[in-house]
Amino acid sequence: MKQYEITEEPLDISKYHSYTINASQGAVCMFTGHVREWTKGTRTVHLDYEAYKPMAEKKLAEIGEEIGERWPGVITTIAHRTGKLEISDIAVVIVTSAPHRADSYRANEYAIERIKETVPIWKKEIWEDGEEWIGDSRRYHSSLEEDK
């Protein structure tokens, strides 16, 4: 595994969990995002995720750096799966460990919010009667910051 990883393989969450543990860390928070069958009354048959892999891994690492600045002492690892995913499959795993639980919770939620804003990964929903690439165009106003 890599600390920040895009992979087509099923996510073995125990590896990411173990990665964040050392003698300083008293709390580990793990989030897994799963493929949901029903969204606003529409039944998803499966999902197809695509990524711009090298940039996506770089952006995941940047999220880890941001977390390190906001919550010093937190260890982060994030993996996102691509390709065809079935209902209940794990699409993303985020593990944040910290000496105390408050920082691990906060850092974990921060990570998923940032993934949804900045990481070049796309989800296509495949329904019984059609399909569509999902994207949130509200994220694309001019307020978006250029990379440093």
Partner 1 sequence: MNVLLFAGLKEKIGNSRITLPVEETITAGNLRKLMYEEFPQITGDVFQIACNESFVKDAHIISPADEVALIPPVSGG
Report yes or no: 97 and 104 within 8 Å, Cβ to Cβ. yes
Query: At closest approach, how far in Å is the CB of 2 from partner 1?
Result: 16
- Minimum CB separation of residue 146 from partner 1 in Å reads 4
Instruction: Report in angstroms how near the CB of residue 99 gets to partner 1 at its nearest.
Output: 27
Cβ atoms of residues 44 and 125 within 8 Å: yes
Question: CB-wise, 29 or 51, nearer to partner 1?
Answer: 51
Q: Please give the residue ranges that form the binding site for partner 1 (CB under 8 A).
A: 33, 49-52, 54-56, 58, 80, 91-92, 112, 115-124, 133-137, 139-140, 144-147
Closest CB to partner 1 among residues 25, 66: 66
Question: In angstroms, rounded to a whole number, what is the distance separating the alpha carbons of residues 5 and 48?
Answer: 17
What single string gives the DSSP state of each residue in 95-124?
EEEESSHHHHHHHHHHHHHHHHHHS-EEEE
